[in-house]
Amino acid sequence: MAQKDRNTRIAQKAFEMVDKVYGKSPNLTTKPYDPKDESPSRFTQSAYKYGGPKIYTVREATSTYSYGRAIYMYAPESTIKEPVVSHPTEHIQYYGGTRPFVANPNRFERPKGRVINCDEAVKLYGGVLIKEFRVTALIMAMVICVEANDGNSPSRKMEEVHRESKLMITKTTVSIICASTDYKQDCTTSLATVRSPDPRNLIRSAFDLAIISIRSGIDRGMIDLKSRADADMHTREALNTCRELMDDAIDDLRKTRDKFRGFLFTRLSDFVEDLCVWLSGSITYQQTCIDGFEGIDSEAAVMMERVMRKGQHLTSNGLAIAANLDKLLKAFRIPFPFLRSRRGRLGILGSGSSRDESVGSSQDSPPNEDSSDDSPSTVDSSENQPVDSSSENQSSDSSNNRPLDSSKNQQMESSEDTPKKSASSGNQPLDDSSDKLPQKSTSSENRPLDPLRKLNPLNKLDSLKDRHLSEEGEFPPWVTPHSRRLLARRPKNNGIKANVVVAKDGSGKCKTIAQALAMVPMKNTKKFVIHIKEGVYKEKVEVTKKMLHVMFVGDGPTKTVITGDIAFLPDQVGTYRTASVAVNGDYFMAKDIGFENTAGAARHQAVALRVSADFAVFFNCHMNGYQDTLYVHTHRQFYRNCRVSGTIDFVFGDAKAVFQNCEFVIRRPMEHQQCIVTAQGRKDRRETTGIVIHNSRITGDASYLPVKAKNRAFLGRPWKEFSRTIIMNTEIDDVIDPEGWLKWNETFALNTLFYTEYRNRGRGSGQGRRVRWRGIKRISDRAAREFAPGNFLRGNTWIPQTRIPYNAN
């Protein structure tokens, strides 16, 4: 009985659609269909006729013949448990007169094997195939076969049917795509202009429309703010910066669109990860544009936010679509090589998987380099000098060479005792073995090799040569074998061969870093090594977006120092422009280098290093400043054995950044100032970004300790609404206030942020007196693994093959 009622409802839905196309007749009645009415016939479900001037048939089975106009309902499952959409690519029949044709999505085959297309079918047999996707609790997919075997239906009527049905398909497909977005009206309105029923075209168009909207917004902003820019130099500079940032936002959207257009990937989770990182970057670039007017021209900031709002909404919608891509692909039955990751689900942290809120989604309710060749890309033989890559006070972490305990139920020691501090502040790596998350087996000997590894050009590893590439620890998956060897190499082995040597005394090819960067080939595909010899280099350095695979190698983080003193005061320079070193080119690496901004605390924002590059790695580097020392702006970044010092928000930004075995040093601020280590800037709840501090140390320098009671220090504060910071397995000295976290203002982001401390140690790690905001989370061991370097930066895709010691959890 239940199945019969279901079929009746299916028939009624189909008849409603017919009424819309042909017009409803008051004489039409619904009556049960008797299979004996057609011969020969073959049915597995009930069918119904729609009586009236024309006879319409709805059935859930395969029939060899059909007379009169027919509506054919294709349901691959007899029971529908949830509303989904099926892409009907098999077992579709086309009826032309009494001659059956079996159809693929784009063709019809006659029984004799002759292939004809839809237009030819209409011409020869008066029929047309129309696909109609409808999402209800009952209907999965509908294919309408319209006949004209009686010769009374003009071609105009069939064209009208085709046009009306195509519009209906597009409208329904758009509603499915936009269902998960936060700005549904903007989504449906923009996609309604596409006029394509193909969901892939619609998704690609969503990214194109965001690009168009951003370009239109910045053009409008340049016009609206022209008079203000002409009258004020600072507004003009902010507007020019805005133009540059919008170009970067568009670049990330183009990368997203092009990757989706190619649709080439080995695992859906990796594919979605790239899309979400780039879309998160685009959102951040747009917000940085607006932030650039703060403190300079507040009215201009309001005007710019207004003209950029549509672009921001469409980019956010694009991120929502990407984050739910697995569900959309399943809904539309779009084929792809691999749906699930090795772990049996789409992925982690914002890539669309269903997971507990404790992992940090804050979604309560919606409001290449591939070279194993050590030789550089363009080598000047006269400058092919070995670099003395000795790291000042650098020491090997012997614990890294111990195999991991593969016991599934291993429990980590949680000690409140403060480990013995290093006599040297910052250069000595912390003991990796002091804290590990309870872990599943990560032993490369017990874990099978990934069969998809050979499909990934970033993972072409030589299992014999690269078995022990790094003695320093682990690196993320984008670090190719050649780059890992460069990072791990010691002077007792062969030195790193430099493409260019920079020396202030003239012993190298260049005297300035800018001169060396000018020699980097545009769109470079191999590592380009610049050895910067000992010295203090006071110059404004920028690694542009076209400078790919650049590597800086110094003589030690206190010997080779790049410095600057640009700050917000007194000239009201925007924070983005104050950086002594700005890194925009992807695949950047730095080793044994110091970056600093000497402007001082009194001049407010003064960035030493800004990183907007994707796949950036910093190893044994120092970043020294006061307010806003390190700007982790966008994309994926990994910091190992680094030291960051400052006063206010001295690690800030919206990158997907992991700090492992690093040291964060609080310096003495100005009178009446408080100190904050992090200010993470995640604006959208689906962004995959965040700051993860893993197995590191948070402490104060000698100048700060006497004033720590008066000038309190905190782990972080929320710069944007969905700020996300994770501090795990880290030593926290008693320089941190017992409350732990600081408000940005009275109520901002307290319910939507995601802050968590997991298994930390030290006298400042106690959580008994921590603030009790809704956004402060206690996470389980399982949830904590999602933020460990192996998962957050997807390190597990390559580390088992390298067989280097790796604390994945």
- CA distances to 495, 526, 553, 567 from 550, rounded to whole Å, are 17, 8, 10, 26
**Three-state SS for 782?**
helix
Selected catalytic residue, list 248, 628, 649, 733: 649
Is 606 in contact with 570 (CB distance < 8 Å)?
A: no
Instruction: State the Cα–Cα distance between residues 665 and 448, nearest whole angstrom.
Output: 41
Which residues have a Cβ under 8 Å from the Cβ of 81 and sit 6 or more positions away? none
Is residue 651 classed as helix, strand or coil in its secondary structure?
A: strand
Compute, in degrees rounded to 10, the torsion defined by CA atoms 157, 162, 167, 169.
140
The CB density around residue 16, as the number of other CB atoms within 10 Å, is: 11
Whole-angstrom Cα distance, residue 260 to residue 258?
A: 5
- Tell me, yes or no, if 380 is annotated catalytic: no
Residues 228, 297: contact at Cβ < 8 Å? Answer: yes
DSSP 8-state class, residue 616? E
Residue 38's closest CA among 48, 29, 28? 48
The residues facing 741 across adjacent strands are 716
Exposed / middle / buried, residue 545 (Cβ in 10 Å: 0-12, 13-18, 19+) = middle
48: helix, strand or coil: strand
3-class SS of residue 723: coil
Across the beta sheet with 115-116, the strand order is 92-96, 99-104, 107-109, 115-116
* DSSP states of 156-175: HHHHHHHHHHHHHHHHHHHH
The answer to whether residues 492 and 381 touch, using CB atoms and an 8 Å cutoff, is: no
Six-digit token string for 498: 């430099």
Cα angle 170-174-179, degrees, rounded to a multiple of 5 = 155
604 torsion bin: left (phi>0), alpha (psi -120 to 50), beta (else):
left
Element (H, E) at 799: helix 799-802
For residues 395-417, one letter each, b for 16 or more C-beta atoms within 10 angstroms of the residue's C-beta and e for the rest, the string is eebeebeeebeeeeeeebeeeee
Q: Residue 741: is it exposed, middle or buried by C-beta count within 10 angstroms (0-12/13-18/19+)?
A: buried
The widest CA-to-CA distance across the chain, in whole angstroms, is 99
Q: 501: which strand partners?
A: 531
Q: Which residues are catalytic?
A: 649
